[in-house]
Amino acid sequence: MVADPYLDGTCAWWHLARPSAELLAALADGWLGSAGVAVDLGCGLGTEIGCLAGAGWKAIGVDLSAAALHGAAASHPGVALARADVLRLPVRDGAADLLLDRGCFHYLPAASYDGYAREARRVLRPGGQLLLRACRTAAGVPTGLDAAVIRHVFRDWRIEVIIVQDIASDTRSMPALVARMSTIS
């Protein structure tokens, strides 16, 4: 049986108890546009999707961890939650305006990257957006992710920006890529 990082405390390495600076910047500079349907891939305890729900978005959090979803439900009662894999989302075709990912993509094996991009495109409406934060290390091991990999995987998307920067958790900073992109209508 695979350990649940929300039961054994491993989640402390990446959990952030407040909305991320990247999400707040996207809200503040208008990149997200008006409220619609947002899906948080690997929502954990629901911090970011709870923020968007509070800003008027119809919010859906998806995670593999039942413990994380239980915690998210307790903290964010207005958010819809689903236990699911990011490669098989329980979301209708074209139903989402925005996808958030602050911790799933970099845990996927490289052979699954194209499937992730296809699934994201499937659930997003034409012109829908993805705010992707992909760590360049996971458990201290390099992930092999760089801007070239992101550009290749999302080659059929409009990539607006890819920034190499550290992203915060409650306990540390993590080297990451932050990408803003959208599906091409």
Q: What is the pLDDT of residues 138-177, one digit of tens each?
A: 888 899 999 999 999 999 999 999 999 999 999 999 999 9
pLDDT of residue 2: 62
- Provide the 8-state DSSP code for 136: S
| Nearest to 59, CA basis, from 72, 71, 69, 50 | 50
Asked if residue 150 lies in contact with residue 120, where contact means CB atoms within 8 angstroms, the answer is no
Give the integer Cα–Cα distance in Å for 162 and 131.
Answer: 10
pLDDT of residue 170: 93
Give the integer Cα–Cα distance in Å for 86 and 108.
Answer: 10
Looking at every residue in the chain, the average pLDDT score rounds to 95
Phi, psi of 158 (to 5 degrees): -90, 105
pLDDT of residue 10: 87
Low-confidence ranges of the chain (pLDDT < 70): 1-2
pTM tops 0.85, yes or no = yes
Q: Which domains, and CATH codes, for the chain?
A: 5-183 (3.40.50.150)
Structure-token match 């800003």, residue found: 55
